[in-house]
Structure 1
Amino acid sequence: MDKLREAYRNNRLILFVGSGVSANIGLPPWRELIDEIATQLDYDPEVFDTYGNFLALAEYYRIRKGNIGPLRSWMDREWHRDIEIRNSEIHRLIVQGRFPAIYTTNYDRWLENAHDAHGVDYIKIANASDLVKAQTGVRQIVKFHGDFDDDDSIVLDETSYYERLQFETPLDIKLRADTLSKAVLFIGYSLSDTNIRLLFYKLSKMWNERETKGVRPISYVFSHKPNPVQQEILSQWGIRMIASEDDQPGLALQRFLEDLVEGDIKP
């Protein structure tokens, strides 16, 4: 934790935000999205779920519909209803933290809405054309898997996900540059999620290429409970696990962020 705190205090800590953060404010689980795909395609949801993993089912949707427009509209509508973002302590702590850049694999707008609610400026970056908007001293929110304002940027189906993992897009080049001298902290990710583990693996390969130059970044992932198996596996990829002993994932993450963000200012 000492090196993590040092990176944070020196404004050299990049945050990577996963779906667990959005789940904390009551967004529907992925299961509901799969059920909606089945409904729109006139399948029984329980039967449809047996036909493949989420990426494959989303791929089938895109093939049948021609694009993900109707599904994106449903997600945008259902994921932005009746939530008072000021009530989310986790979002407040993220907004008020010393994070020069926040990367997120979430499509929803709640990180942006939280910044608006707390009066903190930011620049949203979801594609190559957004990169020119970057300004020194203004936080960047990088929508690493796309944004609802640009259907083509959304990484949802199998093809788009595999293309994303090639790590050859302008956003990947930006990530390499951002992590050249900064640490990375992952929050809101399930360590059992194969898609996220592929992201960890790809990042570790990218960082390994720098190791000979002595500039491999330090990275961390927060978990709400200890897991010695995952800790050992992640360690070989250069990712250090920070574990809590709290049974409630949301409360565990909140307390961790309070310690990190507010630890220096508490009496």
Structure 2
Amino acid sequence: MGGHVFVVGADLTRLSCDDVLVPTDRSLRVARSWRALLPDELVTDSRPDGDCVGMSWNGAERVLEVPGGGARRTWLVDTVDDGGRGLPWLLEGAREALAAVARREVPEPVHGRARRLVGLPALGTGWGGAAGQRGALLQQLLPVLRGAAEEHGFDVALVLRGPSDLAAAQRVRRGEDGGWELPEHLRELARQLGERARRGQLALFVGAGVSAAAGLPTWEELVDELAARSGLDDALREGLSRLPPQDSAALLARELGADRMEEFVAERFGPGCYSLAHALVADLPVQEFVTTNYDPLVELAATDIGRDVTVLPYEEAQPGQPWLLKLHGDAAHPESVVLTREEYLQFGSTGAALAGVLHSLLLTRHVLFVGTSMLDDDLIRIAHQVRTALQTQGPGTARRTGTVLALREDVARARLWERDVETVAMARADGSPAEAARRLEVLLDLIGCLSTPPTGYLLDPAYRGLLNDEERALAGSLHAVAEALPEDASSTAALEVAGLLRRLGHGSSAADGDGAPPDVATRGRDDRTQEQRPG
């Protein structure tokens, strides 16, 4: 069975995957933005415009595997076209790199994922000379990636950083078969949710299942880890499994003490690599997010694509800015974490203001629940309160206020919640949880494609080739407006117009592409080639 090609906004150095392709040249110089993927002992020369790697090519080969012992493997790919060979040469390099990756045996994909995940940028859009041909590159690169995923059976994540890059890639995918192997009912669901997101009617609830894909513990695993630190004897540790999770956590908190418990939470749920699901969720054009997770991975994923997400209740919400409500606390504020039975009971009274935010979303938005089993006591109480509020308004006012994307079919649980939300399962009850989680990622990828505004690249000259005649004429008129705006514009009207032009891709041509610094990526080919020589 073939793999899938995801298009996602993220930072490849922080995206959890098995293999990463990194662009380089014949002198093995790598842009500084990729340094986190290179072992320190391999960097022989460090400069502001790039680091030289202490390896060597064998003849005309274009792909090198960077040695290392971690789960994630880095591959260097020569993408700098010194001979004017153009896009076909770049595309052949991508094929060679993915074929080399396929030859490496991976006993088990990272964090139990169903398929191996290979991440790469839009190769050649930095130092490689394709920066001004991004539209043509995406049109030709995506089929190459789909062919490799089909042939080798792994998943591929094409990771882009700029809004215009993402918008253009999604337009290309909407115009052809994007390879979403989903049944028709999930495709229809993606169309509905994508439309809601475009209209500003969708809010996201992110549960622990999303963070589990990044290697963070589920509730049961968290209790096991705490028990291992507690020093409890075997009999007590065995008895923990028979207690409700909140009561197990209460006993462990008493044994460990408040200080050690807070230290553990801050350490275990601190910043780290985020999952593909985190990135797909953060990419959605949604302004309101709620989570019961303690970790910062949603906001990290959003920050990496330029979305400044306010974390509530610790920061002040800003008009027009997206926000994320940490319903059960934040690892950066470990004293706020809701974990034990007593803390859950206290939340029922002291957390009313936070719960009220979710109440409001359920009444005014359609809430998409991702990565949650809907067993949390607070969620159950909030859903019941919203249902009661709707029923008191008279006959016909009751309605479903959200959609739950469940991994596996659970008829009883779906029936229990049917008055409040629609539950859509990714697999049958006896299906593989890992395959179900992967199907959820594919569904989120399709929702992202269908919800991405189709205009974010309109004024980016690198994507002029994607425009039709009407769009070119409109882009020309808008460029004239951009030139008429004074650089020091400060009036409300001018700032509104400038913001609109930015959303349409104006000023995006200096994006750093596949990782090259903007001051290098925007020079002529002769200068770029000269500077890439070491020494």
Q: Shorter-chain TM-score: what band?
A: 0.7 to 0.9
Q: Match of 1:48?
A: 237
C-alpha contact 2:210 2:371 (8 A) present in aligned 1: yes
- Select 2:423's aligned residue among 214, 229, 241: 241
Query: Does residue 1:144 correspond to 2:331, yes or no?
Result: no
| 2:211 alignment partner, SS class | helix
CA distance in 1, matches of 2:357, 2:418: 24
Match for residue 469 of structure 2? none
Aligned pairs for 1:16-27 (under 5 A) are 16-27=205-216
Give the aligned partner of residue 307 of structure 2: 120
What residue identity is the alignment partner of 1:204? A
Q: Which runs of 5+ in 1 are unaligned?
A: none
Q: Larger C-alpha radius of gyration, 1 or 2? A: 2
User: Deviation of residue 255 (structure 1)?
Assistant: 1.2
Q: Residue 209 of structure 1 aligns with which residue?
A: 388
Give deviations 1:126-155, integer Å, cap 9, x for gaps: 35xx4xx11121111110000122233210
Identity %: 24
Q: Does 1:76 align with 2:258?
A: no
3-state DSSP of counterpart to 1:242: strand
Structure 1 counterpart of 2:336, from 153, 170, 186: 153
- Give distance in 2, aligned partners of 1:172 and 1:77: 27
1:207–1:112: structure 2 CA closer, same or farther, 3 Å change rule?
Answer: same
SS in 2 for 1:185: strand
Residue 169 of structure 1 pairs with residue 360 of structure 2: no
Q: Is the 8 A contact 2:194 2:448 kept in 1?
A: no
Paired with 1:73 and 1:250, the residues of 2 have a C-alpha distance of: 31
* Aligned residue in 1 for 2:117: none
The alpha-carbon distance between structure 1 residues 64 and 27, as it changes in their structure 2 partners (threshold 3 A), is: closer
Q: Which amino acid aligns with 1:36?
A: E
- Taking the aligned partners of 1:13 and 1:243, their CA distance within structure 2 comes to 19
CA gap 1:62/1:242 in 2 versus in 1, 3 angstroms: same
Using a 3 Å threshold, how does the CA distance of structure 1 residues 209 and 134 change in structure 2: closer, same or farther?
A: same
TM value normalised by structure 2:
0.43
Give the 3-state SS of the residue equivalent to 1:251 in structure 2.
Answer: helix
Q: Note if contact 2:293-2:328 (Cα within 8 Å) is conserved in structure 1.
A: yes
CA RMSD of superposed structures (Å): 2.7
Task: Describe the SS at the equivalent of 2:338.
Answer: coil
The normalised TM-score by structure 1 is: 0.82
CA contact (8 A) 2:266 2:332 kept: no
Tell me which stretches of 4 or more aligned residues in structure 1 moved more than 6 Å: none
Partner of 2:226: 37
- Take 1:233 and 1:152, find their aligned partners in 2: how far apart are those partners? 34
How far did residue 66 of structure 1 move?
4.7
Q: What's 1:28 paired with? A: 217
Question: Do the aligned residues in 2 keep the contact of 1:231 with 1:240 (CA within 8 Å)?
Answer: yes
Query: Would the alpha carbon gap of residues 264 and 102 (structure 1) be closer, same or farther in structure 2, given more than 3 Å must change?
Result: closer
* Structure 2 stretches lacking a partner, 5+ long: 1-188, 455-465, 467-535
Shift of 1:179: 3.1
Point out the more displaced range, 166-175 or 92-101.
166-175
